[in-house]
Amino acid sequence: MPNTSYLRRKQPAAARNIGFMLRSGTESMILLGIGLPIALFAAYLIGQVTRWLVRRRVSVRTSTTVVLAVIGLSLGLVLSSLIFRDSEPWSLEVLLLSIACTAALLGLFALVARRFQPPRPRMSILEVARSGESQLVEFKSSARWNLHTQQRDERMELVVAKTVAGFLNADGGTLLLGVDDDGQSIGLENDFSLVKRPDTDRYELWLRDLLSTTLGQNAAALPVIDFTPVEVDGRPTFLCRLSCPNSPRPVFLEPSRNERTEFWVRSGNSTRQLTLENSIDYITVQWPLGVGRTLAAQLRSSFRGSRAG
C-alpha cells in the first residue's frame, strides 16, 4: 500500500511548483511580447542614425541597418550576461554595452561596404542642368555680369558667395553658373570677358579669390570646380559647376570689412540668412561636438555684448 499521507504532503508542493512555472512562463511571454517591439524600434532608430552619418560615404539600406542593429543588440545582451551576471536586461551597464556592440558592428559594416561598394557615377553638368533646381541644386545665369544692365554687378558676385555658404552649412549641393532658372544653357561669355585672360583657369582663380575673400581660405578650398564646353547661338562658351560638400565647421560670410558677418543656410530650394539666435541653435545641432559648442558660446557672448551695448 502506498503511503497516502506522504502523497498528500507532496501534492501541494508539486502543485505549487507547477503553478510557479506557469506563472513564470506567462510573465516571460508578456515580457517578450513587450520587449520585441521596443528592441525593433530601437534598432530602427540606430539604423537611421547610422545611415545619416555615412550618407556621404556609402549607401546602406534601412533593412540592412535594422538587421545589423538587432544582431548588435543581441550580441550586447549575450556579452552582458557573461560580464554582468547579476544585472537586469534594462540596467545602465547592459544598455551601454549593447549600444556599443551595435555601433561597432554598424561601423565595421560601413567600412567594409565603403571598400567594396563601387563609386556612384557622377552626373555631367548638362545632366544636372536638365534635372532642374532643388534643395541640392541651384542655377545662376551669371556670376559677375548683369544681363539687364549689361555691365558688371558686384551684388551678383555676393549672391554666388551666399549660395556656396548655404550649401556648405547644410548638406552640400551643386551651383551651376551659366544656366538660367529653366535649365537652359546661357554660357559664361560675358563673365569670361571680365577676367584678364578669358579661359577656365583664370575664371576658376577668380572664383577662388571671391570665396576666399568672403568666406575665408578654408571654406574657399572645399568646393570642387569644373567646366564643360557648350555652344550657345553658334558661339563656343562654357558652363561652370561648383560642387560643395557639407562643411566640417560653420562658414560665415563677410560681405565687406565694414559690414557684420552673416550666416547663410540652404533651406528647400532657396538660400536664407539666419538671425544670430537661430544661428546659435542651428550650429549647436549641425555641429554638436567641440566646434559647435565653442562657436555657439562665442555667438552667445557676442549676442549678449550687442544687447548690453
pLDDT tens figures, 131-173: 889 999 999 999 998 888 889 988 999 999 999 999 999 989 9
- Helix, strand, or coil (residue 112): helix
pLDDT tens figures, 45-97: 776 776 666 665 666 677 777 787 788 878 877 887 788 777 676 677 877 88
The reported pLDDT for the residue numbered 117 is 60
CA proximity to 249, closest of 303, 298, 306? 298
Looking at this protein, which amino acid is placed at residue 40?
Answer: L
pTM: 0.60
CA proximity to 50, closest of 39, 37, 59? 59
pLDDT tens figures, 25-46: 455 566 556 666 776 777 777 7
